[in-house]
Amino acid sequence: MAEAQYETRTRTVEETFVVLRLTEDEAEELAGRLLYDAADSDCMQRLLEALRHPVSPAPPADTFEYGGVMYDLSAKYRDTEADVWSFTGRRDPEGIPYVTMYEGSNNTADTIVSVNRGWGPLTKVVDA
């Protein structure tokens, strides 16, 4: 079953994208039909190329939400005492990310939640 979904993203200019979801059979049939029309227009050639070489979507960023704040797990965060915390890449049994003040440590004593409760709020460290 074919589905189309409109997505709007705001940049310097606003663009609207149409995401067309097709089964493999539908994509093959559409590509076959485009072969006859592709020579007539650049747009048809781009459509045919997209069907022949689909691009995988980018993986979602690794994030964790706590207290209404979305934390980027690849970033570092500073607490109210100026200590800098980074994520270890590990999580507790409930899925809460572990954090450490020591680079390369696999600390499993502190989670993003416990650090927020004790020394929060945390602010993202932005390299200047």
Q: Where are the domains of the chain?
A: 3-52, 63-124
State how far the Cα of 15 lies from the Cα of 26, in Å rounded to an integer.
Answer: 26
Stated pTM of the model = 0.52
For the chain, the distance separating the N- and C-terminal CA atoms, rounded to the nearest angstrom, is: 49
- Cβ–Cβ < 8 Å for 40, 34: no
- Cβ–Cβ < 8 Å for 77, 47: no
Tens digit of each residue's pLDDT (9 = 90 or more) over 32-84: 887 776 667 788 788 788 888 877 766 567 899 999 898 999 999 999 999 99
Tens digit of each residue's pLDDT (9 = 90 or more) over 115-126: 999 999 999 998
State how far the Cα of 114 lies from the Cα of 108, in Å rounded to an integer.
Answer: 11
* pLDDT, position 115: 96
Tens digit of each residue's pLDDT (9 = 90 or more) over 70-99: 899 999 999 999 999 999 999 999 999 999
**What does R_g of the chain's alpha carbons equal in angstroms?**
23
Which pairing describes strands 76-78 and 123-124: parallel, antiparallel, or unpaired? Answer: antiparallel
Residues in the chain: 128
